[in-house]
Amino acid sequence: MCEIECFGNYHRKCEHYVKMYESGNKTDCGSPSCALSQAHKHRPGPGQRTCTCVRIPRECRRVLSLIHDRCDACTRAAWATLERESSRVW
């Protein structure tokens, strides 16, 4: 599977990686069964008109910042749970 390089922040408390941007660097896997590769061989299956090869690249993740707190989505979910359980609006 081909790779694209992306940069983002890693949040240690929730162990989530939040992608910020892609660098544009792509690595070709050279596989004939990968639709994004230069070596792709278009082989539709029997009775199919479209190619069933994988079209999603794998992310090569680079960490810009190591953050010792939860990501924004996990923080919002935690506050929503707290509001639901306590019936208070913070």
Measured distance CA(44)–CA(48) in Å, rounded: 6
CA dist., res. 6 & res. 86, Å (int): 40
pTM of the model: 0.71
pLDDT, tens digit, 9 for 90 and up, residues 30-87? 888 888 888 888 766 666 677 778 888 999 999 999 999 999 999 999 888 887 777 6
**Residue 88 pLDDT more than 70?**
no
